[in-house]
Structures are given as C-alpha cells and as structure tokens.
Amino acid sequence: MPSFSELAGEQKVFRDKGVLSPHFVPSQLLYRENEIRKVMQAVAPALHNSKARNLFVYGKTGTGKTCVAKHVLQKLDEEKNLRARAVYLNCRIYDSRYKVLQKVISSFSPGSAKTGYSFALLYERFLDWIEGLGDDGADGKHVILVLDEIDVVKDLDNLIYTLTRANDDLKRGSVSVLGISNKVNFKQRLDTRSKSSLCEEEMVFQPYDADQLKGILTQRVSTAFNDGVVLPSAVNLAAAIAAGDNGDARYALALLLRAGEVAEKKKVEKVSEKEVEEARKAADEDKAAEIVSSLPEHQKLVLYALAVVSEDVHYKKLVEEEGEKYYFSGEVYERYRAMAKKMGQEPRTSRWYREYLHELETLGLINSVESGKGVRGHATLLRLSYEAPKVKHILEKALLAE
C-alpha cells in the first residue's frame, strides 16, 4: 500500500494554492487604493470615539469589494482600539435579523447568544455590550457591521430598523453599517425610512480591465506557483478571458488554479495557454451544470429530450450546418411530450415549448438556427451547447431528485 507522502509526491506546480482562493486577502491590494481610502474614511471616526459613517458598496462579482472591506478591517484591528470594533458577516449564512444579531454578540462575547434566546433578550445584550457592561471594560464602543451580500437578508427592513433604533437607545457608543451588494438596485426593496436612515454614502466598484487583471494574476502567481511554472502567455490569456467576462478577478484566479490542476493531472511542468483553455472549458461546464440544475421542471425535460435525441445513433433526420449537427425542433418536441407523460406530467403546448427554447438559448444552453437550403419547408433546428452525455447525466440526477 502506498503512503500519503508517496501519493502526494513532490509539488512541482503549486507552492500555495490558498493564494488563489477568493477568500485570500493579499497584503497589497492592487488598483483599489481610492476605494480603500474611502472605506477607511468612513470607518475612521470610530477610532476617535465617534460613530462611523454608513457606507454602501456596489459592484459586480470579482471587483474586489469583499477584499477591500476585509483589508480595512485588518488595518482597523491593528489599531488595538477597544472602542472601535468591527465584525464581518456573510449574509448568505446570516440571512435574518436574528442570525445577524446572534453572530455579532457571539463574536465579541462567546456564549452570550445561545440559540433559543428571544430576540428582545439578544437586543438588550447587544446594547449592554456596546455601552460597556461586557468583560472587556471598554465603555461606549463604536461597532461597524460589515454585511456582505446584504441584499439576501430576508427581513432587511427589520434589520435596518433595529440597527437604527439601537443608535437611539444607546447612551454611549454607536452602530454603523458597511453594506456590500452585487446589485446596485437592491435598495428598491427598502422602504423610504430605511433608505434615508442608513444609505448615507455609496460607492461603486468598477470591473477590472485586462491589464489590471494581468497585474493581479502576476502578483498571485509569484507565491501560488513554483518559479517558472506559469508561462506569461497563460497569465495573459486568463486575464483576457476574465476581462471579457465582466472583469471578474475571481474568475481569472479560478482559471489559473484550475489550469494548474490540469497541468498536475497531465503531469506537465508548465502551465501554458492550452491548460488555461482546458480550465475555461471545465469552468464553463460547471457553470452550465449549476444553471441546468436550477431550471424549472419542464425546461429540464425539453433539454433532456434534446440530449436524448443528440445521443440517438439511429436518428436519421439531423442536419449539418458548418460542421455542427442540428436536430429538428418538432422531433425534440415529440420526444419531450413522450417523456413528460412517462413522468406523469401534462405536456405543455407548442407555444410554451417555443418559450422554453427561447429561455434555454438565452441561458446559453442550446443554439437554434432556421433551416436553409436542402430542407423542405420552414423548420427550426436545435443543438446543445455542451456535450450531450454530460448534459444528460446532470439532468438525470436533477430529475430523479424531484
């Protein structure tokens, strides 16, 4: 039997994979100096025994919002000021007013916010701790809550009302919010009172361009990979791909991570453009799998029908356009109807079927063309955007789960 050390072997590609993680915060954040300064300016009053300013930060995924917030929190923590306190919360986990308050209290006073306590009791303990009745002895603390993906909080208006009321109820200290969201228009969910009370300042993070992404990747490559493993052309390609996909730095880093894993698997000692292209294809397939799994049931059945037809070696009516094999929409519809009935579902009408095809094409899961020369009459031709066996496998798991 081999040992773990033998199986692991010598790390020829990676030095530290963690550097490529979206959760890693580098000591120097490139191209975000102005954003760091603005967040620090909002937080700074807490260091001078005053309430920090509320700030809402917007921007697409991978534009550095979370990294900047965590970077500023690290700098705040280095000040060792007992009155200036901050806590970071991922609202996908802490997605209600109760969970947020419970997490904040337990961050500063472990054991003081057990599950089962009433909200009123949690609220009173929160106020007591801020005013200085806790173990640390610092009275009148100024607390900054960093609420990442704040838009997913279910009872957001209630949360904002509670935080606003806290400032009214406190004799010493304060509560401020640094809200982070991918959705610029999420404030439309808030009532007028909430917007006016919390949305004091706003900042939008712009996507990175290809040159900036190249700089970010180059910075991470030097510590994530062994020397000379990643070719400059691979960095350039990953940056260009990510720049074309909304300037997403997370995607760029994920491409390099995956490209390195491809190189390991192939037992090659260099990460080139070829490995990046393979990583891109795998990442696209993962994204497609996520989309497919979330489709409504009848759209899944339509996609499954096309996958089955695409794998049918006896299917004779396919049409080839520029080397791609297309299948008649009418044939796919009949296959869908048969599958729906077999699963005890009432098949949708052809009008709904056309709507489903439009949705699936918009999501990038299928391609359609109108029939040209050599085909009698007018017909719509379909093909999958991804390999039929993989799509079929994903759908079989999803449909069986339902």
Q: What is the mean pLDDT of residues 97-118?
A: 84
What average pLDDT does the structure give for the chain?
89
Distance between CA atoms of residues 212 and 242, nearest Å: 11
Q: How far apart are CA 331 and CA 325, in angstroms?
A: 14
Eight-state DSSP code of residue 60: -
Position 117 scores a pLDDT of 85
Architecture of the CATH domain 208-283: Orthogonal Bundle (1.10)
Residue 237 Cα distances to 18, 251, 256, 275, 328, angstroms: 21, 12, 10, 10, 37
Q: Kindly tell me if the per-residue pLDDT of 373 is higher than 60.
A: no
Distance between CA atoms of residues 135 and 322, nearest Å: 73
Q: Which two tokens stand for residue 30?
A: 């490139």
Query: What is the average pLDDT across 337-363?
Result: 93
Query: What mean pLDDT is predicted for residues 70-79?
Result: 96
User: 96, 102 in Cβ contact below 8 A?
Assistant: no
pLDDT at 226: 96
Least confident span in 29-43, 49-63, 260-274, 306-320 = 306-320
Model's pTM, two decimal places?
0.78
Residue 2 has what pLDDT?
A: 62
Domain 33-204, CATH class in plain words: alpha beta
As a whole number of angstroms, the distance between CA 323 and CA 19 comes to 42
Where does the pLDDT of residue 177 fall: very low under 50, low under 70, confident under 90, or very high at 90 and above?
very high
Token pair listed for 80: 């060792």
**Would you report the helix, strand and coil content of the chain in percent, each value rounded to 5?**
55, 15, 35
Report the pLDDT value the prediction gives residue 68, as an integer from 0 to 100: 97
Least confident of 262-266, 327-331, 362-366, 395-399: 395-399
Residues 364, 314: contact at Cβ < 8 Å? no
Q: C-alpha distances in angstroms, 309 versus 193, 330, 333, 374, 389?
A: 56, 12, 10, 21, 11
Burial of 277: CB neighbours in 10 Å, binned 0-12, 13-18, 19+: middle
Alpha helices in 205-272 (DSSP H): 210-224, 232-243, 249-266
* pLDDT tens-place string over residues 264-291: 999 999 999 999 999 999 888 888 888 8
Q: Which of 241, 237, 223 shows the shortest CA–CA distance to 271?
A: 237
Residue 113 has pLDDT above 90, yes or no: no
So what's the pLDDT on residue 46? Answer: 97
**Crossing angle of helices 249-266 and 210-224, rounded to 10°:** 40
pLDDT band at 5 (very low <50, low <70, confident <90, very high): low
- Looking at residue 372, what is its pLDDT? 61
Mean pLDDT of 41-46: 97
In this prediction, residue 192 carries a pLDDT of: 78
Which pLDDT score, from 0 to 100, does residue 229 have?
96
Rounded Cα distance between 180 and 45, Å, is 20
> Do 33-204 and 295-401 come out as alike in CATH topology?
no
Query: pLDDT confidence of 50, banded at 50, 70, 90?
Result: very high
Q: Which fold has domain 295-401?
A: Arc Repressor Mutant, subunit A (1.10.10)
For residue 322, the number of C-alpha atoms closer than 13 Å in the C-beta half-sphere is: 4
pLDDT of residue 400: 72
Mean pLDDT of 201-223: 95
Of 166, 155, 148, nearest to 190 by C-alpha is: 155
* Burial state string for 115-145 with b = 16 or more CB within 10 A and e = fewer than 16: eebeeeebbebbbebbbbebeeebeebbbbb
Domains in the chain: boundaries: 33-204, 208-283, 295-401
Answer yes or no: are the C-beta atoms of 271 and 13 closer than 8 Å. yes
Comparing CA positions, the residue from 272, 276, 264 lying closest to residue 228 is 272
